[in-house]
Structure 1
Amino acid sequence: MINPASRTKPIELSQIRKMFEITNPNAINLGIGEPDFNVPENIKQAMKNSIDDNDTHYTPNKGYIELREAIVDKFKKDNGIETNPDNIIVTVGASEALYMCAQAFIESGDEVILPNPSFLSYEACVKLADGKIIPVDCKMENEFKLKADDVSEKITKNTKAIMLNSPSNPTGAVMEKEDIKAIADLSMDHDFLIISDEIYEKIIYDKKHYSPAKYSDNVITLNGFSKTYAMTGLRIGYLTANEEYTEELLKIHQYNIACASTVSQRGAYEALTGPQDEVTKMVNEFKNRRDLIVKRLNEMGYETVNAEGAFYVFPKIEDKEFVQKAAKAGVITVPGAAFGSNGQNHVRMSYANSYENIEKAMNILEERVVNG
Structure 2
Amino acid sequence: MINPTSRIKSIELSQIRKMFEVTNPDAINLGIGEPDFNVPENIKKAMKESIDKNETHYTSNKGIIELREEIVKKFKNDNGIKTNPDNIIVTAGASEALFICAQAFIEKGDEVILPNPGFLSYEACVKIAEGTVVPIDCKMENEFKLKAEDVSEKITKDTKAIVLNSPSNPTGAVMEKEDIKAIADLSMDNDFLIISDEIYEKIIYDKKHYSPANYSDNVITLNGFSKTYAMTGLRIGYLNANENITEELLKVHQYNIACASTTSQKGAYEALTGPQDAVEKMISEFKNRRNLIVSRLNGMGYETVNAEGAFYVFPKIEDEDFVVKAAKAGVITVPGAAFGSNGQGHVRMSYANSYENIEKAMNILEERVVNG
| Length-normalised TM-score, structure 2 | 1.00
| SS across alignment from 1:342 | helix
Quick one: distance in 2 between partners of 1:237 and 1:136? 27
How much has 1:171 moved relative to structure 2?
Answer: 0.1
Query: Residue 294 of structure 2 corresponds to which residue in structure 1?
Result: 294
Query: Residue 155 of structure 1 corresponds to which residue in structure 2?
Result: 155
| SS across alignment from 1:153 | helix
Query: Residue 322 of structure 2 corresponds to which residue in structure 1?
Result: 322
Query: Residue 265 of structure 1 corresponds to which residue in structure 2?
Result: 265
Query: Residue 341 of structure 2 corresponds to which residue in structure 1?
Result: 341
How much has 1:19 moved relative to structure 2?
Answer: 2.2
Q: Specify the code of the residue in structure 2 equivalent to 1:165.
A: N
Q: Specify the code of the residue in structure 1 equivalent to 2:258.
A: A
Quick one: distance in 2 between partners of 1:293 and 1:239? 33
Quick one: distance in 2 between partners of 1:15 and 1:57? 35
| SS across alignment from 1:169 | coil
How much has 1:6 moved relative to structure 2?
Answer: 1.1
Query: Residue 19 of structure 2 corresponds to which residue in structure 1?
Result: 19
Quick one: distance in 2 between partners of 1:355 and 1:10? 39
The runs of at least 4 aligned residues of structure 1 exceeding 4 Å deviation read none
Moved more, 131-140 or 13-22: 13-22
| SS across alignment from 1:98 | helix
How much has 1:354 moved relative to structure 2?
Answer: 0.1
How much has 1:18 moved relative to structure 2?
Answer: 1.1
Quick one: distance in 2 between partners of 1:259 and 1:220? 19
Quick one: distance in 2 between partners of 1:6 and 1:148? 34
Q: Does 1:188 align with 2:188?
A: yes
Q: Specify the code of the residue in structure 1 equivalent to 2:23.
A: T
Quick one: distance in 1 between partners of 2:167 and 2:19? 23
Question: Once the two structures are superposed, what CA deviation does each residue of 1:173-226 show, in whole Å capped at 9, x if it has no partner?
Answer: 000000000000000000000000000000001100000000000000000000
Query: Residue 84 of structure 1 corresponds to which residue in structure 2?
Result: 84
Query: Residue 218 of structure 1 corresponds to which residue in structure 2?
Result: 218
Query: Residue 166 of structure 1 corresponds to which residue in structure 2?
Result: 166
Query: Residue 246 of structure 2 corresponds to which residue in structure 1?
Result: 246
Q: Does 1:128 align with 2:156?
A: no
Quick one: distance in 2 between partners of 1:308 and 1:297? 16
Query: Residue 200 of structure 2 corresponds to which residue in structure 1?
Result: 200
| SS across alignment from 1:287 | helix
Question: Once the two structures are superposed, what CA deviation does each residue of 1:340-362 show, in whole Å capped at 9, x if it has no partner?
Answer: 00000000000000000000000
Q: Specify the code of the residue in structure 2 equivalent to 1:94.
A: A
Task: Determine what percentage of the aligned residue pairs are the same residue.
Answer: 87
Query: Residue 53 of structure 2 corresponds to which residue in structure 1?
Result: 53
Quick one: distance in 2 between partners of 1:54 and 1:246? 30
How much has 1:252 moved relative to structure 2?
Answer: 0.5
Task: State the superposition RMSD in angstroms.
Answer: 0.4
| Length-normalised TM-score, structure 1 | 1.00
How many residue pairs were aligned? Answer: 372
Quick one: distance in 2 between partners of 1:81 and 1:104? 23
How much has 1:110 moved relative to structure 2?
Answer: 0.2
Q: Specify the code of the residue in structure 1 equivalent to 2:94.
A: A
Quick one: distance in 1 between partners of 2:93 and 2:298? 35
Quick one: distance in 2 between partners of 1:340 and 1:22? 23
Q: Does 1:232 align with 2:232?
A: yes
Q: Does 1:255 align with 2:255?
A: yes
How much has 1:23 moved relative to structure 2?
Answer: 1.0
Gaps of 5+ in 2: none
Quick one: distance in 2 between partners of 1:239 and 1:285? 28
Q: Specify the code of the residue in structure 1 equivalent to 2:311.
A: F
| SS across alignment from 1:349 | strand
Gaps of 5+ in 1: none
Query: Residue 313 of structure 1 corresponds to which residue in structure 2?
Result: 313
Quick one: distance in 2 between partners of 1:338 and 1:244? 35
How much has 1:20 moved relative to structure 2?
Answer: 2.2
Question: Once the two structures are superposed, what CA deviation does each residue of 1:153-181 show, in whole Å capped at 9, x if it has no partner?
Answer: 00000000000000000000000000000
